[in-house]
Amino acid sequence: MSTHTHDSIRAVQWTGTHLSLLDQRLLPHESVYLETDRAAAAADAIRDMVVRGAPAIGVTAAYAVVLAARRAWSEDGQDWRAAMAADLKALADSRPTAVNLFWALERMGQVMAGLPDGQDPEPALLVEAERIHQEDVDGNRHMGDLGAALLQDGRDVLTHCNTGSLATGGYGTALGVIRSAYAQGRVKHVYADETRPWLQGARLTAWELVQDGIPVSLMCEGAAASLMREGRVGWVIVGSDRIAANGDAANKIGTYGLAVLARHHGVKFMVVAPTTTIDMNAPSGAEIPIEERGQEEVLELAGRRVAAPGAAAWNPAFDVTPAGLIDAIVTERGVVEQPNAQKMKALFAAD
C-alpha cells in the first residue's frame, strides 16, 4: 500500500483566477469555501481563523501576494510595488506567531525584487506561489515517512490541535506522520485532544481522520495523563508554529503540558514541522512572540457565554515546549533527535 493514501483534503486551493479557502470555523457541520480575489480578504481570513495552521497560512499568504500584485498592476502599472504596500502589511499583521507567514512573504518579496518596473508581476509571482504550495505537500509526505519510521512499538498515538491537510498545503505535518504510519500498519488508532478553546481537535482533526478512514477517539485535554498511565500510547505527535534555534517549539496552547506528562510516563514526544517553521534568529523559546487572543473565546462557546458573569479569562494561543522534553523534531531535511542548538544548526548545514 502507498504510504501516501488516506489523503483526500485540500483546504487552500488556487482556482486559476482566485483563492478558495475551506472555512474551518464551520467544520465539521458544513464544508464551505470562501472565494476571494482580494489580498486584504485573505489577510482577514488568516486573522479570523478561516485558514489556520502555520504552513497553510504561509501558502495562503503566497497566493494573496499574487492577488495583491494583480490589483496593484491594474491600478498603477508603473508603480505596482508601492500600490501593493498596504496589502502586504495587512498580511504581515494577520498572525504574529506563525513564522511561515513571514517566510512566504519574504520569498515572494525576493521574486518581486527581481522583476522590472514595467512588467506585470502576476505571472512570475503565481509560479512562485504554486511552487511554495507543491513544496509543502512534497515535504509533508517526506516528513510523514521519516516520522513513521520512528514508530516501532505499534502502540496508539496522541495528537493535539490540527496538523493535517487543513493546517498545511496538503497531507499534513504531525497528521502526515500519522497518515503514513497508519498506511504502514504502525498505528492502528489515534487519540485526539479536543484542543480548547477553538476545538481544532474535535472539529478538524477528528473530521479529517474520519474522512480518510483512520480510527480516532476524541478526549478532553484533562484525560491525557490517565491515557498515558494506562500505557495506551507510545508517542505524542504534534506540529509547531515556530521552532527556536535551540529546538524549543511553540505550538497550540496545551502542548507543553502534554510534553511534561509524556516525560513522566515514559511516552515519546515528536514535533513535526517543515524547516520553514524553524526561526534560527530566535535563540530560544523565550524570543518567540506568543499571541494572546480575545477573552470571549474562553468565556463563550459558539457565541453563548458559559462562564460566570464577572469572570475574566487568560487566553494565550500558544505555549513553548522546551527542547529537553522533545525526543525528535522531524523535518523534510531529516530527523533531529534530542534537539539542541548544535543539532539544529547542523540540520541546515547538511545539504
Q: Please identify, among 138, 164, 188, the residue that sits at the C-terminal boundary of a domain.
A: 138
Judgement on whether residues 297 and 191 belong to the same structural domain of the protein: yes
Is 117 noted as a catalytic residue in this protein? no
- pLDDT surpasses 60 at 122: yes
Query: What was the pLDDT predicted at 98?
Result: 74
Tell me how far apart the alpha carbons of residues 6 and 171 are, in angstroms, rounded to a whole number: 9
| Cβ count within 10 A of residue 199 | 20
Judgement on whether residues 56 and 94 belong to the same structural domain of the protein: yes
Q: Is residue 189 part of a domain?
A: yes
Tell me how far apart the alpha carbons of residues 216 and 192 are, in angstroms, rounded to a whole number: 7
Query: What cell does 93 get?
Result: 499583521
Q: Is residue 190 part of a domain?
A: yes
Query: What was the pLDDT predicted at 10?
Result: 87
Distances from the Cα of 210 to the Cαs of 73, 161, 322, 333, in angstroms? 44, 16, 32, 30
Q: Is residue 168 part of a domain?
A: yes
Average pLDDT on 34-55 reads 94
- For residue 292, the 8-state DSSP code is B
Q: What is the CATH number of the domain that holds 193?
A: 3.40.50.10470
Judgement on whether residues 307 and 196 belong to the same structural domain of the protein: yes
304: three-class secondary structure by DSSP:
strand
Tell me how far apart the alpha carbons of residues 260 and 102 are, in angstroms, rounded to a whole number: 30
CB-based contact 277:100 (threshold 8 Å): yes
Judgement on whether residues 298 and 203 belong to the same structural domain of the protein: yes
Query: What was the pLDDT predicted at 104?
Result: 95
Judgement on whether residues 300 and 326 belong to the same structural domain of the protein: yes
Judgement on whether residues 22 and 105 belong to the same structural domain of the protein: yes
Q: Is residue 291 part of a domain?
A: yes
- The per-residue b/e assignment along 19-42, b for 16 or more CB within 10 angstroms, e otherwise, is bbbbbbbebeeeeeebebebbbbb
Tell me how far apart the alpha carbons of residues 234 and 236 are, in angstroms, rounded to a whole number: 7
- Total domains in the fold of the chain: 2
End-to-end CA separation in angstroms for the chain: 30
CB-based contact 161:251 (threshold 8 Å): yes
Query: What was the pLDDT predicted at 3?
Result: 54
What type of residue is 133? H
Judgement on whether residues 121 and 231 belong to the same structural domain of the protein: no
Q: Which residues pair with 304 in a beta bridge?
A: 301
Query: What was the pLDDT predicted at 172?
Result: 94
Distances from the Cα of 205 to the Cαs of 46, 256, 279, 335, 340, in angstroms? 19, 19, 26, 24, 30
Judgement on whether residues 207 and 262 belong to the same structural domain of the protein: yes
β-pairing, 278-279 vs 242-244, is parallel
- pLDDT surpasses 50 at 1: no
- In the set 193, 241, 319, 327, the catalytic residue is 241
When the pLDDT of each residue in the chain is averaged and rounded to a whole number, the result is 94
Judgement on whether residues 152 and 134 belong to the same structural domain of the protein: no
pLDDT class of 76 with cuts at 50, 70, 90: confident
**pLDDT-wise least confident of 27-31, 174-178, 187-191, 216-220:** 27-31
- For residue 280, the 8-state DSSP code is T
Q: What is the CATH number of the domain that holds 125?
A: 1.20.120.420
Judgement on whether residues 82 and 170 belong to the same structural domain of the protein: no
Percent of the chain at pLDDT above 90?
87
Query: What was the pLDDT predicted at 299?
Result: 98
| Structural domain span for residue 313 | 147-349
Q: Please identify, among 98, 118, 138, the residue that sits at the C-terminal boundary of a domain.
A: 138
Q: Which residues are annotated as a binding site for substrate?
A: 52-54, 95, 200, 251-252
Tell me how far apart the alpha carbons of residues 323 and 329 are, in angstroms, rounded to a whole number: 9
Largest CA distance in the chain: 66
Q: Is residue 88 part of a domain?
A: yes
Q: Which residues are annotated as a binding site?
A: 52-54, 95, 200, 251-252
Average pLDDT on 280-305 reads 95
Q: Please identify, among 91, 108, 138, the residue that sits at the C-terminal boundary of a domain.
A: 138
- pLDDT surpasses 90 at 233: yes
Judgement on whether residues 134 and 195 belong to the same structural domain of the protein: no
Judgement on whether residues 133 and 151 belong to the same structural domain of the protein: no
pLDDT digits (tens, 9 = 90+) for 125-179: 999 999 999 999 999 999 999 999 999 878 999 999 999 999 899 999 999 999 9
- The per-residue b/e assignment along 133-159, b for 16 or more CB within 10 angstroms, e otherwise, is beebbebbbbbbbbbbebbeeebbbbb
- pLDDT surpasses 60 at 2: no
In sequence order, which residues have a C-beta less than 8 Å from that of residue 300 and are 6 or more positions away? 306, 307
Query: What was the pLDDT predicted at 295?
Result: 97
